[in-house]
Structure 1
Amino acid sequence: MPRLSVIVYGPNAQGHLTELLDSLEAHPLPDAEVIVAAVGDWAQETAGRHAPETLVVPLPEGTGDAAARAAGAARASGRWLHFVHAKDGLPAGAPRLIAERAAELDAAAGTEASGTRDAPAAPVDVLLFDHVTTTWQTTAAPSRDGRHLAAVGRESRTLDGRADLLRLAPLLGNRALRADFWRAHEARFTTEDEPLAAHTVLLLADRIACLNQVAYENRVLRPESLPPRAPAHRLTLIERYESLLPLAENRRTVHAVLYDLMVRDLVRTFAREDLPEPVAREFFRRASLAAVRWRPEGHQRPPGLEGVRHALLEEGAYTRYRAFQAGNRARRAARTAVRSCKRQVGAKVRDHQYRRALSRPVDPELAVFAAYWDRGVACNPAAIAAELAELAPHIRRVWVVSKDNAALLPPGTDHVVPGTRRYWETMASAKYLTNNVNFPGAVVKRPDAIHLQTHHGTPLKRMGLDQMDHPAAAKGLDFAALLGRIDKWDYSVSANSHSTRMWERAYPARYTSLDHGYPRNDVYYRATAADVRAARARLGIAPGRTAVLYAPTHRDYEAGFTPRLDLAALADRLGEDTVLLVRAHYFYGGAASPLTGLRRSGRIIDVSSYDPVEELCLAADALVTDYSSIMFDYANLDRPIVIHADDWETYRTTRGVYFDLMAEHPGQVARSQEELTEIFASGAWRDDSAAKARATFRRRFCEYDDGRAAERVVRRVFLGEPEEALPPVLPLEERTPAPTPEEATA
Structure 2
Amino acid sequence: MPHLSVIVYGPNAQGHLTELLDSLEAHPLLDAEVIVAAVGDWARETAEGHAPETIVVPLPDGTGDAAARAAGAARASGRWLHFVRAEDGLPAGAPRLIAERTAELDATAAPDTPVDVLLFDHVTTTWQTAASPSRDGRFLAAVGRESLTLDQATDLLRLAPLLGNRALRADFWRAHEEQLTTDDEPHAAYAALLHAGRVACLNQAAYEKRVLRPESLPPRAPEDRLALIDRYESLLSLARDRRAARRVLYVLMVRDLLRTFAREDLPDPVAREFFRRASLAAVRWRPEGHQRPAGLEGVRHALLEEGAYTKYRAFQAANRTRRAARKTVRSRKRQLSAKVRDHQYRRALSRPIDPDLAVFAAYWDRGVACNPAAIAAKLAELAPHIHQVWTVSKENTALLPPGTDHVVPGTRRYWETLATAKYLTTNVNFPNAVVKRPEAIHLQTHHGTPLKRMGLDQRDHPAAAKGLDFAALLARIDRWDYSISANSHSTRMWERAYPARYTSLDYGYPRNDVFYTATAADVRAARERLGIAPGRTAVLYAPTHRDYEAGFTPRLDLAALADRLGENTVLLVRAHYFYGGAASPLTGLRRSGRIIDVSSYDPVEELCLASDALVTDYSSIMFDYANLDRPIVVYADDWETYRTTRGVYFDLMAEHPGQVARTQEELTEIFVSGAWRDENAAKARATFRRRFCEYDDGRAAERVVRRVFLGQPEEALPPVLPLEERTPAPTPEEATA
Q: TM-score range by the shorter chain?
A: 0.7 to 0.9
- Deviation per CA, 1:271-296: give whole Å up to 9, x if none: 11123445434433443454566567
Matched-pair contact (CA < 8 Å) for 1:435–1:454: yes
Taking the TM superposition and a 5 Å limit, the aligned residue runs for 1:277-292 are 277-291=268-282
Work out whether 1:139 is the aligned partner of 2:132: yes
Instruction: Give the alignment partner of residue 519 of structure 2, picking from 516, 522, 528.
Output: 528
Q: CA deviation at 1:359?
A: 3.2
- Deviation per CA, 1:217-243: give whole Å up to 9, x if none: 664422417743513321211222343
CA distance in 2, matches of 1:691, 1:103: 34
Tell me what 2:187 maps to.
196
* SS class of match (1:350): helix
Tell me what 2:41 maps to.
none
* SS class of match (2:428): coil
**TM-score normalised to the size of structure 1?**
0.74
Q: Structure 1 residues 261 and 437 mapped into 2: Cα distance closer, same or farther (>3 Å)?
A: closer
Letter in 1 for 2:727: T
* SS class of match (2:340): helix
Letter in 2 for 1:452: L
Work out whether 1:221 is the aligned partner of 2:210: yes
Taking the TM superposition and a 5 Å limit, the aligned residue runs for 1:160-175 are 170=161
Tell me what 2:37 maps to.
39
Q: Structure 1 residues 361 and 50 mapped into 2: Cα distance closer, same or farther (>3 Å)?
A: farther
685-694 or 230-239, which deviates more: 685-694
Tell me what 1:372 maps to.
363
Instruction: Give the alignment partner of residue 417 of structure 2, picking from 420, 426, 435.
Output: 426
257-266 or 234-243, which deviates more: 257-266
Taking the TM superposition and a 5 Å limit, the aligned residue runs for 1:223-302 are 223-224=212-213, 227-231=217-221, 232-247=223-238, 259=250, 261-291=252-282
**TM-score normalised to the size of structure 2?**
0.74
Paired residues in the alignment total 712
Q: CA deviation at 1:740?
A: 3.1
CA distance in 2, matches of 1:234, 1:555: 36
Give % identity: 66
* SS class of match (1:386): helix
CA distance in 1, matches of 2:642, 2:248: 47
Tell me what 1:445 maps to.
436
Tell me what 1:416 maps to.
407
CA distance in 2, matches of 1:717, 1:157: 61
Question: What's the RMSD between the two structures over aligned residues?
Answer: 5.6
Tell me what 1:382 maps to.
373
Matched-pair contact (CA < 8 Å) for 1:149–1:211: no
* SS class of match (1:240): helix
Q: CA deviation at 1:522?
A: 0.6
Q: Which runs of 5+ in 1 are unaligned?
A: 111-122
- Deviation per CA, 1:86-135: give whole Å up to 9, x if none: 5467698667667777888748xx6xxxxxxxxxxxx7997796856544
Instruction: Give the alignment partner of residue 351 of structure 2, picking from 360, 373, 379.
Output: 360
- Deviation per CA, 1:658-709: give whole Å up to 9, x if none: x88888x576686967999998899787676776665566555544332122
Q: CA deviation at 1:571?
A: 6.0
Tell me what 1:118 maps to.
none
CA distance in 1, matches of 2:465, 2:243: 55
Letter in 1 for 2:213: E
Work out whether 1:347 is the aligned partner of 2:338: yes
CA distance in 1, matches of 2:463, 2:150: 46
Q: CA deviation at 1:259?
A: 4.9
CA distance in 2, matches of 1:291, 1:453: 58
Q: CA deviation at 1:270?
A: 1.1
Q: Which runs of 5+ in 2 are unaligned?
A: 39-43
Letter in 1 for 2:37: V
Q: Structure 1 residues 452 and 241 mapped into 2: Cα distance closer, same or farther (>3 Å)?
A: closer
Work out whether 1:485 is the aligned partner of 2:483: no
Letter in 2 for 1:637: L
Instruction: Give the alignment partner of residue 637 of structure 1, picking from 625, 628, 632.
Output: 628
Tell me what 1:119 maps to.
none
Q: Structure 1 residues 310 and 620 mapped into 2: Cα distance closer, same or farther (>3 Å)?
A: closer
Matched-pair contact (CA < 8 Å) for 1:626–1:643: yes
CA distance in 2, matches of 1:376, 1:680: 36
Letter in 2 for 1:375: R
* SS class of match (1:398): strand
Tell me what 1:709 maps to.
700
Q: CA deviation at 1:341?
A: 1.1
Matched-pair contact (CA < 8 Å) for 1:94–1:216: no
Matched-pair contact (CA < 8 Å) for 1:555–1:651: no
Taking the TM superposition and a 5 Å limit, the aligned residue runs for 1:301-700 are 304-310=295-301, 312-313=303-304, 318-403=309-394, 405-406=396-397, 409-410=400-401, 413-459=404-450, 480-496=471-487, 499-500=490-491, 503=494, 507=498, 509=500, 511-535=502-526, 589-590=578-579, 611-621=602-612, 629-639=620-630, 651=643, 655=647, 657=649, 665=655, 698=689
Matched-pair contact (CA < 8 Å) for 2:559–2:589: no
91-100 or 261-270, which deviates more: 91-100
CA distance in 1, matches of 2:723, 2:59: 66
Matched-pair contact (CA < 8 Å) for 2:507–2:700: yes
